[in-house]
């Protein structure tokens, strides 16, 4: 069943703003989460499983399931359901596993 038949705005947007998803410009409502904005725009999946390549899409909308992971402005592992949408965001699908920590960062006590 397509996502657009399951998710729609209850009231018309007061203000729209522009974001980019996979290189395409989208006009989305202001004041909603990035996951909501993507679903309202008809985006059917936001990530691909690192194990099987299975597409994933926002599910719980409260930060528990991690199905909404995207890359935002070059930063991987962003939970779209927890991010407020803002003008100019550059969003890409998260494909496979991404490193959580940048560079050669080692947490204190990790080698003990």
CATH 3.10.20.440 fits 3-9+16-95, yes or no: yes
> Which segments within the chain are labelled E, that is strand?
16-21, 24-29, 47-48, 55-56, 69-72, 75-79, 90-95
* Separation CA 9–CA 22 (nearest Å): 23
Q: What is the pTM of this model?
A: 0.78
Q: What is the pLDDT along the chain (112 residues), one digit of tens a residue?
A: 454 456 677 777 789 999 999 999 999 999 999 999 999 999 989 999 888 888 989 999 999 999 999 999 999 999 999 999 999 999 999 987 765 544 544 444 444 4
CA atoms within 13 A on the CB side of 13: 14
Closest C-alpha to 57, from 7, 1, 3: 3
Domain ranges of the chain: 3-9+16-95
């Amino acid at each position: 069943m397509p996502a657009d038949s399951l998710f729609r705005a209850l009231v018309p947007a007061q203000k729209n703003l522009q974001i980019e998803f996979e290189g395409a410009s989208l006009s989305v409502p202001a004041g909603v989460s990035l996951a909501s904005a993507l679903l309202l725009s008809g985006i059917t999946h936001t990530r691909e499983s690192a194990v099987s390549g299975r597409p994933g899409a926002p599910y719980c909308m409260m930060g528990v399931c991690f199905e909404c992971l995207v890359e935002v402005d070059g930063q991987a592992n962003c939970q779209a359901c927890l991010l407020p949408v803002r003008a100019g965001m550059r969003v890409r699908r998260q494909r496979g596993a991404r490193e959580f920590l940048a560079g050669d960062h080692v947490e204190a006590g990790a080698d003990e």
